[in-house]
Chain A
Amino acid sequence: MVRKIKDGLILGTIYLAAFFSVVLLAGIIVYVCVKGIGSVRWSFLTTVSSVLKGTVGIAGNIVNTLYVIILTLVIVIPIGIGSAIWLNEYAGKSRSVRLVEFTTQTLAGIPSVIFGLFGMVFFGTTLGLGYSLLTGALTLTLMVLPLITRNTQEALRAVPDSYRYGAVCMGAAKWYMIRTVLLPSAMPGIVTGVILAVGRIVGESAALLFTAGSGYLLPGSGEGLFHKIMESGGTLAVQLYLSMSKAQYDTAFGIAVVLLCIVVIVNFLTGIFADKLNAALRK
């Protein structure tokens, strides 16, 4: 009898905890949407804030976010995939493998403030890139590198050895084999890593505040598009922080809604590709 009551109490606590977690999430989403949806108008998304006209718009921040995503991915994808290929296909079991794996895991654990400080002094000052989208992207490259490396590595591990032997027996050289057989098979895993990286980049603020700065203007056309890389630019998350510290809460909630939508899309896509990877694993 005592045991039954005790079990019941514990079960009750477990239900309560789970219920709390779910209500919390639902509450967050509903609250943000209710507070923010009013701000999200067409002009909010397509114009730039103007002090003269007194209007608010985040078009510049959206463009900056896209810049940072693309720049970061262009740099990080080849490095991350290359690193995973080396770890899984070339390196064997040496001490340097353990060092690369340890440092990759360490990178994943370093807080974004530290990345911000490092990016500011290394890319910004030492390399002379200043506050610019490029500085921000280079900093984020280091931050999301572990995501790409690990996901690619896991996907490569899932490719059966028989594919490797099959290709090598046809006289394929190693890189040719990797390019034509392994990478296509590992693609769902790699894409998962890339989508997760996009999620991280979109949500990041601390590492970008000191590196990419807070510019909110749209780039000029033509050459301006290219010059923008070397100019300061705040992403959506950075702008959200700045609006918040200036007590412009309507703008802040508007951006929060946009960010939430992006997060939902990112998670949805990740789910799809993770399922594909799992299906491939089971084969």
Chain B
Amino acid sequence: MNVKAKCIISKDRVCIVETAAQAIFTICAFVAIFAVGSITLYMIANGVPALFKIGIRDILFSATWKPTAQEPEFGILYIVLTSIMGTALAVMIGVPIALLTAVFLAEIAPKTLTAVIKPAVELLAGIPSVVYGLLGLMVLNPLVYKWEQNLYRGSETHQFTGGANLLSAVLVLAVMILPTVVSISESAIRAVPSELKTSSMALGASHVQTIFRVILPAAKPGIIMAIVLGVGRAIGEAMAISLVSGGCVNFPMPFHSVRFLTTAIVSEMGYASGLHRQVLFTIGLVLFGFIMIVNLILNNILIREDR
């Protein structure tokens, strides 16, 4: 305040410009705080009312989803479970492949090969999610449908999904988290000091033993960060899986047509109104809650790494 007052009295141009610049930068920095604050506020303001109108138990712990019926029911239990299950399965499939690829890139591949594969992985990360959705729809669904037909041949109780089911969605998600996990864990592996590696080799350990007993444990914080980011990406993805996963609200089993938190919002927002629309915001709030948990975990890892 003092400086400002002085500037106005002395009418020093430099002084005024400098003070103004600092003020503007401060405002810019606070845009992020303002954005996260207002997103949180809006999600709560729009998502909470339905919770009270319908009752927390009837939304969160009921499995019946009939938003447009005469007497609508808004139980999102299966939707929540689908998101959790889908993310968990995608991580279980995607992370091992990604980690091994990262090990290959950082430890085994010759430089020329890395120079080819790394840009390829980055390209994989850059492909828009709708394109993954298109591929899932055109390639994966027919393939999974064949498996389904073989598996449930003659079954009378199974509802055939035509390949649009949880399994297809999980495979798409697994591919989508691949690049994120590969590139972050690769840099974590590369950051392990080479003395560790040499001293392990000097003790007579083979390269493979060294990788799994020394290098990977040393790179653990970075790898965990990669996995957490992968979880975040999988749980928040919408467009890639909205047409691939079928779209009925069912208990999450591989060959069930299912609806995720994200796909429920995307596919119903267009026509929802009234209470139905409010419930979609509640679904958004649940998703937001999951993401904030992921973020807090991530933040804790980052803070620990700083030390």
Chain A positions near chain B (C-beta within 8 angstroms): 3, 6-7, 10-11, 13-18, 20-22, 24-26, 28-29, 31-32, 35, 78-83, 85-87, 89-91, 96, 99-100, 102-107, 109-118, 121-122, 142, 145-146, 149, 173-176, 199, 202-206, 209-210, 237, 240-241, 244-245, 249, 252-253, 256, 259-260, 263-264, 266-267, 271
B130 and A241 contacting across the interface, CB-CB below 8 Å = yes
Across-interface contacts of B155 in A (CB, < 8 A): none
Instruction: State which of B101, B127, B139, B295 has its C-beta within 8 Å of the C-beta of A18.
Output: B101
A11 to B175, CA, bound (A): 22
- Tell me whether A25 and B288 are in contact (CB under 8 A): no
The 29 sampled A-B contact pairs (Cβ below 8 Å) are: A10-B212, A14-B104, A14-B108, A18-B100, A18-B104, A21-B182, A24-B178, A25-B124, A82-B27, A83-B28, A83-B29, A86-B26, A103-B33, A105-B299, A112-B238, A122-B42, A142-B35, A142-B39, A145-B32, A149-B32, A175-B21, A176-B18, A205-B130, A206-B262, A240-B130, A245-B243, A263-B127, A267-B126, A271-B119
Q: Which residue of B lies closest to A3 (CB)?
A: B206
**Contact B208–A7 (Cβ < 8 Å):** yes
**Cβ B26 vs Cβ A7 within 8 A:** no
Known A83-B28, A116-B265, A145-B31; 4 more pairs at CB < 8 Å: A106-B36, A109-B232, A206-B129, A267-B126
Tell me if B84 is interfacial: C-beta within 8 Å of chain A: no
Residues B192-246 near A (CB distance < 8 A)? 206-209, 212, 229, 232, 235-239, 243
B143 close to A (CB within 8 Å): no
Name the contact of B262 in the complex, choosing from A78, A104, A111 (C-beta under 8 A).
A111
Closest CB-CB distance, B266 to chain A, in whole Å?
A: 6
| B192 smallest CB distance to A (angstroms) | 17
Please state if B127 and A21 are interface contacts (CB–CB under 8 Å): no
Top 8 nearest A-B pairs (CB, nearest first) are A111-B236, A82-B28, A203-B128, A17-B100, A175-B21, A86-B25, A18-B104, A86-B29
- Does B137 make an interface contact (CB < 8 A)? yes
Q: Are B128 and A205 in contact (CB under 8 A)?
A: yes
Nearest chain B residue, comparing its CB with the CB of A259? B128
Q: B residues touching A (Cβ–Cβ < 8 Å)?
A: 14, 17-18, 21-22, 24-33, 35-39, 42-43, 46, 96-98, 100-101, 103-105, 108-109, 117, 119-124, 126-131, 133-135, 137-139, 175, 178, 182, 206-209, 212, 229, 232, 235-239, 243, 262, 265-266, 269, 281, 284, 287-288, 291-292, 294-295, 298-299, 302
- Distance of A90 Cα from B29 Cα, bound (Å): 11
Q: How far is the CA of A260 from the CA of B104 in the complex (A)?
A: 26
**Chain B residues with CB below 8 A from A260, complex form:** 127, 131
Closest A residue to B45 using CB positions: A121
B26 contact from A13, A78, A90, A110, Cβ within 8 A: A90
Tell me which residues across on chain A come within 8 A of B29, comparing CB atoms.
Answer: 82-83, 86-87, 91, 96, 100
A28 near B236: Cβ-Cβ < 8 Å: no
In the complex, A78→B28 CA distance in Å? 8
Residues of chain B within 8 A of A112, CB atoms compared: 236, 238
Contacts of B287 in A (CB 8 A): 111, 113-114
* Residue in A20, A83, A121 whose CB lies within 8 Å of B32: A83
Residues of chain A lying within 8 A (CB to CB) of residue B31: 79, 83, 145
Contacts of B42 in A (CB 8 A): 117-118, 121-122
The smallest beta-carbon distance between B244 and chain A, in angstroms, is 10
